[in-house]
Structure formats: structure tokens, C-alpha cells
Amino acid sequence: MNSFAVIGAGILGAAAARELTRRFPADHVTVFDKAPAAAAHQSGHNSGVVHAGLYYEPGSLKARLCRRGVDLLRDLALEKGVPYEECGKLVVALRPEEEGRLRAIHERAVANGVPGVELIGPERIREIEPGATGRLALHSPRTAIIDYPAITRVLLEDVRAAGGTVHLGAEVTAIANGPERCAITTEHGTQAFDAVIVCGGLQSDRLARLAGGDEYPRIVPFFGQYSKLAPEHRGILNGLVYPVPDPAYPFLGVHLTKRVDGEMLVGPNAFLSLGRENYSGRRPGVRDSLEVAASGAFWRFASRNSRAAAREFAAVVSRKRFLAQAAQYVPSLTGAESTPLTRGIRAQAMDRAGRLVDDFVIEDIGRATLVRNAPSPGATSSLAIAEHLVERLIAGHGLQATEPSAS
């Protein structure tokens, strides 16, 4: 009999635990998470977009697992009755200099096998989104929206139904990673396992160091602030409207996102968070902030992105400027009212040179398989990442799946 542990009860940890129960139905899987509820961090603080795979380097782990993940996620949502809507998405160019970048995104999307993508002009933009405007747009009709916390809960229900154990409110304080077993310590005691998968999100680098991993890549938290538009604007779009990404800044920029409950969101901006779990913006994490301030890698990153950071900061301190960015794409939003929502915080990995790590990063140390970077489209790709993690675990440790015993 094998015994497995998963650290993290966000969507990725839940997906990994469920995949283990499917591949090892006679063995036991235990999930640990320090939060009192599942999906308490990134999985519960996002816009709910299911990305189609437009932007990612063809052949990269991100591109491959995103496309596989979309199909798995859609099928699971339909099976379990979780809200899922293929509302579609426009990536809109407003200025001539953006058109070349948009055509390059279209080429990547086609190479990645994204279904139905096409470049469209102003008339088709108005047909698809009567409230939007632009010179050129990339239409992705299969981009969707979903309730990620609900999917996470469904995954954990499957883990429990398969005989697994989920320990919430159980912070991992030590990992003793040996050649044959890996022991995990929480305030409730120590347990040893044949293999451990670590999906620690905002704490992934710290958990990796506990398991014997390197200091880098290190997590630098960036918050994203969303605002909910006033009720009269709920129907302003049929789907999603995004800007063409700015190559001078590594985030997508302010966009408009329909949510599965019908609300219309504007956001997010992207700026350094004073705390990995500072969702209110009012409770800075002293340890987190000191670590960032002491990091030469972060200051190298900051020096290269000062202009874009100043633009983002202006949107942080002024909601009018924040909404004005969105109104460039949907002019009727000029002067619209909105309500700020709880921040999301992105667990972005940074290397020693101060570069943001773009692709997924997975590391194997001893009996632990560590997810060290899983930015967007991490949630979209979660079920495919889970398959990939379990395949690595099986190949790396020579494990054999065991059949359930007859009752």
C-alpha cells in the first residue's frame, strides 16, 4: 500500500489529490492546508476566467497543459453541475502599434490549437460586442467563465468519497524529505508518506525550502484589484474584453470580465502587494515585505519596469483612472459607478536575475514533487497539471498503482 500527501487545498492541490485517488484507488491520500476552508487564496480570489490558450509560447508546458486543462475542466463542470459559460472573449487593439502584437497573438493561438480564433475588424467587433470599440480584435469564442471555488470543493468531495482525508487548519511547519519517505509536521503531529505533492501557491517557495529546495525561484506577490460595476452595467457586454498586452509590463492590463453570477467586473491592476495574504490592503505582512525589500532580484525587476509601475500605481490610488482605462474599450462606461472587491494576490515566481518566470515550474526533490510556479492559466490548467504531476511522481519513484481489494 502507498500513502500520499498533498500540501494545498486550492484548486491545484485538490486536483492533484483527486488524480492520486483515481490512479491509486486502493491507497490513501491526505490533504493538508493551513486555511480553515478550501480555495481560500488564489483559487478563491480571481475573476473565474477559463483561458483558451491564446498567449502562451507554442510547445511550452503552459500551452500544452492549458489546452488539455480546458477540456477536462469543462467536462467536470458539466458532470458536476458547476456553472460554466462559453461567453467568448475579444482582445482589442485601439492603436496602430498594437496591431502587430495582436497578429502575433493570433499566430500563437492558432499554433496552440485554440478553436475558432479569428482576427476581426470594427464591424464584427460591434456585432459580437455592441458596446465595444477598436481597430482590430482577436475573437476567442470558446473562452469561458466558471466558479473556481465550487470546482475546488467538488474535487475535494471526490477525494473524501474515495476514502481520502482533508485536514484544513493544518499548517505545515516542517518537511523531512528522505530517499524513501517524506514526513510532514503540523501542529497536530508528524506523518510519513511514500510521496508528497506540494501545491503551496503563495507559500510555494517557503514550502520548497522546507523540502530541501533552492531559494529561487522566489515568490513575489502582486495584488490585483477588481471593481464590480453598478447594476445598470451588468449587461453591457456579452463576454470578456481585454487589451493587447503591453510588452513593457508582464501583466495583461485592466479588462472587463463577466462573472457566472451575472456581475460585470473591471480589473485587475497589478502592483506589488505588501503581504502575500493581504487581501484587504490594510494588513501589511511585515515578513513578506522585508523579504521583498531585501531582494536584489526584485530591485532589478523594479528598475526595468518603473514606467509601467507608475501607470499601475495611478490606477491603484484613483478608481476613476482605473475605470477610465476600461472606458477606452467600452465608451459608455465613462463616468460609471463601481464598488471595489477584495483583492486577488498572484503568486508570481521571480528568478535570481529579477525576471518573472513565465512557464510552469515543477521540481522533484527526494520524495517530494513541488509546484514552484503556476501563474495564470494555472486554474484553467489544474486538472491537466494534476495529471502531469502524478505521472512525474510515478516515473520518478517507480510506483505501481494498486487495485482496490474485493469486498
Q: Can you tell me the distance from the alpha carbon of 278 to that of 35, in angstroms, rounded to the nearest whole number?
A: 14
CATH 3.30.9 in the chain, residues? 219-350
The arrangement of strands across the sheet holding 218-224 comes to 271-272, 218-224, 344-350
**Phi, psi angle pair for 221, to nearest 5°:** -85, 130
Exposure of 202 in the CB half-sphere (CA atoms within 13 A)? 27
In the three-class reduction of DSSP (H, G, I as helix; E, B as strand; rest coil), residue 369 is classed as strand
Q: In a structure prediction context, what are the per-residue pLDDT tens digits for the chain, which is 407 residues long?
A: 899 999 999 999 999 999 999 999 999 999 999 999 999 999 999 889 999 999 999 999 999 999 999 999 999 999 999 999 999 999 999 999 999 999 999 999 999 999 999 999 999 999 999 999 999 999 999 999 999 999 999 999 999 999 999 999 999 999 999 889 999 999 999 999 999 999 999 999 999 999 999 999 999 999 888 889 999 999 999 999 999 987 766 667 788 999 999 999 998 877 888 899 989 887 788 898 888 988 888 888 887 766 666 555 555 555 677 788 889 999 999 988 888 888 889 999 999 999 999 899 999 999 999 999 999 999 999 999 999 999 999 998 888 766 544 43
pTM of the model: 0.93
Number of H helices, E strands in the chain: 11, 23
- Which stretches of 213-304 are assigned E, i.e. beta strand? 218-224, 227-229, 240-243, 255-258, 264-267, 271-272
Q: Domain spanning 219-350 has what CATH number?
A: 3.30.9
Every domain of the chain with CATH number 3.50.50.60 lies at 3-43+149-217+359-397
Strand 118-120 to strand 136-140: parallel, antiparallel, or no bridges (unpaired)? antiparallel
| Whether the Cβ atoms of residue 210 and residue 376 lie closer than 8 Å to each other | no
Give the span between the Cα atoms of 374 and 170, in whole angstroms.
22
Q: Are 223 and 281 in contact (CB under 8 A)?
A: yes
Given the candidates 1.10.3660.10, 3.40.630.40, 3.50.50.60, 3.40.50.300, the CATH classification of the domain at 3-43+149-217+359-397 is 3.50.50.60
